[in-house]
Structure 1
Amino acid sequence: MPERIHRRRPEPRDNNPDIIMERGMVIGRYHAGQSYSQISREMGLSRNTVKAWVRRYEEEGHVRTRPRPGRPRVTTPQQDAAIYATSVRTPFKTAITLTR
């Protein structure tokens, strides 16, 4: 089995460059004079989504998603790697016994 490498957490989907570009296209179409409904039909988005992206751009100057609260990580990347290595060596142990 290939060894797993701990990588940096991927960027959230909403701040993915492709998503940001799509939101930028919505803003560009709006500033070019298209209506919310027209943009929504042509781009396959809901009218409310189009309105929200335009409003966020006008209020905040960007179309990135705001950070959301969440539980902070409990383990470090080094601890994750150690847990993974132990689980590979002893695949039938439970998560609780691996963390002890």
Structure 2
Amino acid sequence: MVLNDYCVHSCSNTNEEESTSAVSELLEANNLVLRGRIVTLRDNGLSVRAIAREVGVSPTTVAKWIKRWEESGNLADMARPGGPRKTTQAEDDLIVAEAEAQPLTNAVAIRDDLRLEVSARTVRRRLHGVGIHHRTPAKKEPLTEQHKAGRLAFAQRHAEKGMEYGPRNIVEVARSGHVTCNVWGWVSLHGMGDVFRIEGRFTAAKNVRDMSFRSELVPEPL
């Protein structure tokens, strides 16, 4: 079984972040154009309601940006105040170091190990901020020699592409050793009857064709 709870972001994550940033910049630019149009229409003598109908926003929004322009001459979004940061830079560094040292850990374990007075969600945000994201553990069957040879060849071709299958990211899980066996039998008020072993998988075809002992299980009149 291969587990990789936390792993450093890949190029695809970087591309996704760049795309999100580009979309945000485009939306901000469109908003500035809309607000500038509101101010221009106001300068041309239109009422607040007429401007709202023209640009497709509420009169409250029109009045807000007209007032902002008259007071500050600024149509950009103002910085939004947030709550105080719950972790220090030193604690952030410890969170990241813990995740990198133990790839099989999780946000709750990191918080408890470091004795942080924050939520697991805060720990996850700190990890996401540096590109470390949760991944669903991958489960793999034990490999045959043919599988191992194929995996080794693949690894050699991709030796420079990360440590997802590195030794510290792999945990071997032993099988239980239990063996199953299909049987056919019967039980009555007088006790348990004979039990017959069924070789291989028990299918409908085998039930009809191969059950030579069925006559032994049919009850006879007393």
Q: Which residue of 1 aligns with 2:66?
A: 54
Give the CA deviation at 1:75.
Answer: 6.6
Flag the 1:71–1:61 CA change in 2: closer, same or farther, 3 A. Answer: same
Mapping of 1:3-22 within 5 angstroms?
3=10, 4-5=13-14, 10=21, 16-22=28-34
Amino acid at match of 1:22: L
1:58, distance to aligned residue in structure 2 (A): 0.5
Moved over 4 A (4+): 10-13
Match of residue 66 from structure 1: 78
Match of 1:36 in 2: 48
> Displacement of 1:71 after TM fit?
2.7
1:53 deviation in Å?
0.3
Name stretches of at least 5 consecutive residues in structure 2 with no aligned partner: 1-6, 115-222
Percent identity over paired residues: 27
Unaligned 5+ runs, structure 1: none
**Aligned residue pair count:** 91
Higher strand proportion (structure 1 or 2) = 2
**Does residue 26 in structure 1 map to residue 38 in structure 2?**
yes
Task: Give the RMSD, CA atoms, in angstroms.
Answer: 3.5
CA distance 1:21–1:72, change in 2 (3 Å): farther
TM-score by length of structure 1 reads 0.65
Q: Higher helix proportion, which one?
A: 1
Describe the SS at the equivalent of 1:16.
helix
| 1:37-70 superposed Cα distances (whole Å, 9 cap, x missing partner) | 1110121111011011001001001112222211
Q: What SS does the corresponding residue of 2:66 show, helix, strand or coil?
A: helix
Instruction: Report the Cα offset of residue 96 of structure 1.
Output: 2.5
Question: Comparing both chains, which one has the higher relative contact order based on Cα–Cα distances under 8 Å and sequence gaps of 6 or more?
Answer: 2
Q: Partner letter of residue 55 of structure 1? A: K
